[in-house]
Amino acid sequence: MSPLNITKGATSHSAYDLRDPNAPVIETHTLAVVVDNESGVLARVIGLFSGRGYNIESLTVAEVDHTAHQSRITVVTTGTPQVIEQIKAQLARMVPVHEVHDLTVEGPAVQRELALFKVAGKGDARIEALRLAEIFRANVVDSTLESFVFEMTGTPEKIDAFADLMRPLGLREIARTGVAALSRGA
């Protein structure tokens, strides 16, 4: 740290943005991939990411068309703009892939994630956990004398914020589904 307690790589919100202006910009993109619902397709798609060292931050998969036997894979990934374009191009070339949509660049999209939180506590911590859950619109889905299980749906940022507030109150476990996303409009 410097004498002014400024860490190298401070955020862009800081008055002291010390990031290297020549460093490649790392972006987060949400990709929606429609594939055949067959054995091994998910492994092939994910193999494309792991084989090339691409990171997956979130992954959700479900069958969306029973008659056509198609599934939708929603992947949140990070990389430079060139890497993101390469990922999309490589996905589009795969045989079981029907569509690849980059929801981040195609326009407004709705993103949601479901999370379950187990919070253990007594007394004031328990009351505070319930108060915060009400503010965040989290539902109590299980309760014992010593713990709660909260259910929340929201953006990943909202879920992260709730988890940060629950940690000092006795957060024990988190289960997250990963991002599900759809583009807005027609």
CATH number of 133's domain: 3.30.70.1150
What is the per-residue pLDDT for 22? 78
Does residue 161 sit in the same domain as residue 116? yes
pLDDT tens digits along 2-61: 455 555 555 555 666 666 777 788 999 999 999 999 999 999 999 999 888 899 999 999
Query: Tokens at residue 154, please?
Result: 């929201």
The rounded percent of the chain whose pLDDT value lies above 70 is 90
Smallest CA-to-CA distance from 170 within 119, 111, 96 is with: 119
Residue range of the domain that includes 161: 109-183
Does residue 143 sit in the same domain as residue 90? no
Question: Distance (Å, rounded) from C-alpha 89 to C-alpha 83?
Answer: 10
What is the per-residue pLDDT for 19? 65
Question: Distance (Å, rounded) from C-alpha 151 to C-alpha 174?
Answer: 10
Q: Give the chain's domain count.
A: 2
**Is 143 a domain residue?**
yes
Query: Tokens at residue 97, please?
Result: 């892939």
**Is 5 a domain residue?**
no
**Is 62 a domain residue?**
yes
Does residue 78 sit in the same domain as residue 143? no
Angle of helix 41-51 relative to helix 81-93, nearest 10 degrees, comes to: 150
What pLDDT band is residue 148 in, cutting at 50, 70 and 90? very high
Tell which of 68, 102, 136 closes a domain: 102
Tell which of 102, 117, 151 closes a domain: 102
Tell which of 102, 137, 152 closes a domain: 102
The H or E element spanning position 143 is strand 139-143
Query: Tokens at residue 63, please?
Result: 């069958």
What is the per-residue pLDDT for 1? 44
DSSP reduced 3-state for 184: coil
Phi, psi of 177 (to 5 degrees): -85, -25
